[in-house]
Amino acid sequence: MTNTNGTELLTSVDISNVNWKVKTEDFTTFEFRTKENVESDEGYDYDLHRLFLHKDGSIDIQFANEEDYDIHEDVSNKFDLNNVAEYLLSQISELENITETYIAHYEEREANGEDVA
């Protein structure tokens, strides 16, 4: 499968490992690495990503930050979203669930007056 630019989309075979999952009322997210860096439309390239399965059924993949849980650029157009989501969901029972840590991190940042939207 290719994107609108004719570039081959990345699939589950391009994932090197899945780090963890978070499941909230609004979304489930998985952090994963790809075997190779993915270049964004803005010209940045990273191998750490976050897939979000939103309550409304939408799916997106963002570049993820190494130091905290921040995300910083949508790269959904580089992936076969349904294929990657299906693969990550098949791994869900084996993944570390960091939901409590994730929520506490954002609550602390919010309490410190940081914009966490």
Q: pLDDT per residue over 1-45, tens digit each?
A: 776 667 799 999 999 999 999 999 999 999 999 999 999 889 999
Instruction: Determine the Cα–Cα distance for residues 46 and 48; give it in Å rounded to an integer.
Output: 6
pTM for this entry: 0.88
In residues, how long is the chain?
Answer: 117
* Predicted confidence (pLDDT) per residue in 52-97, tens digit: 999 999 999 999 987 777 888 999 999 999 999 999 999 999 999 9
List the one residue out of 54, 98, 107, 60 whose CA is nearest residue 79: 60
- Name which of 83, 61, 62 is nearest 73 in CA terms: 62
Residue boundaries of the structural domains of the chain = 12-111
Give the integer Cα–Cα distance in Å for 59 and 66.
21
